Amino acid sequence: MKRVNSGLGAALAASAFVALSSNAVGSLTPVVTNQFGQPTPHQIVEHIYNDTFDVTGENFASPTVSATRLNDTSDSSALSGQELAAKAVARFSDFSQSYGVVDNGTFKPAFTVTGDDYNVAGTGTVNVSNGESFGRNGNTGTQSSKSGLNADGRDHAVTYEVHGANPDPQWLQFWEDWNSTPTLTKEGHTVADYNDLVVQLSQAETGGGNAVPLPASVFTGGAMAAMLMLAHTMRARRLRQFGH
């Protein structure tokens, strides 16, 4: 979220806040398109996986990778109890960003993000269990992946489960770093674009999340070459053994 001081910016942000307040998409929090040219979650997914993704409802899919929106009331529980490798992959906010776990109201950082846009760095490991939640922190305060723990009582993270990338599965969390207040829209902020911080998660034992893997044909060719070399070596050994 970037600061815009024009009256037009304030009006646009106000309309975005009204749209958010309707909470219109069932159990999925509405994501408002950033009015100032920043990328949407759809565009961020396309950039991360370097492919064109079709949009079906709230989900995105390319020929090889799918990104499915998780229910916002259960996205944290779907990932609870797992040791997860976390990596910052995007940041479209002027405000500081740290990522970690919220435990009994206390933010425990896993890493602090450096850089802007897609040129970001920050990695760590998180494990959410026993009532904890995912969280981000910065000079706009702390927000939790559980709406009830946030100062404004609203959802600050939307999550996609990704299949077809390496490792598989992985997850993308899109964070909104502003707590909404009655005066916030007058200050000209976009409060529901969910692109302020994007974190990629994968099961820790598989390593950090990567882009789309090599095509199957490339992998098959490499594996076949290795098998042929092994067979050739074994045949040569047998020939030497029997004096041929």
**Where does the pLDDT of residue 209 fall: very low under 50, low under 70, confident under 90, or very high at 90 and above?**
low
pLDDT digits over 3-61, tens only? Answer: 433 333 333 333 332 333 333 345 899 999 888 889 999 999 999 999 999 999 999 99
| Residue 235, C-beta contacts closer than 8 angstroms, at least 6 positions apart | none
Average model confidence (pLDDT) across the chain = 79
Identify the sign of the CA torsion 58, 179, 17, 22: positive
pLDDT over 70 for what percent of the chain? 69
Q: Which residue has the higher pLDDT, 224 or 52?
A: 52
> Residue 1's pLDDT is what?
54
Tell me the per-residue pLDDT of 96-133, one tens digit each, with 9 for 90 and over: 999 999 999 999 999 999 999 999 999 999 999 888 99
Task: Kindly tell me the burial class for residue 8, based on how many C-beta atoms sit within 10 Å of its own C-beta (0-12, 13-18, 19 or more).
Answer: exposed
DSSP state string for 40-80: PHHHHHHHHHTS--EEETTEEE-SS-EEEEPPTTTHHHHTT
Largest CA distance in the chain: 90
**Would you say 113 and 88 are in contact if contact means Cβ atoms under 8 Å apart?**
yes
Indicate the pTM of the whole model: 0.75
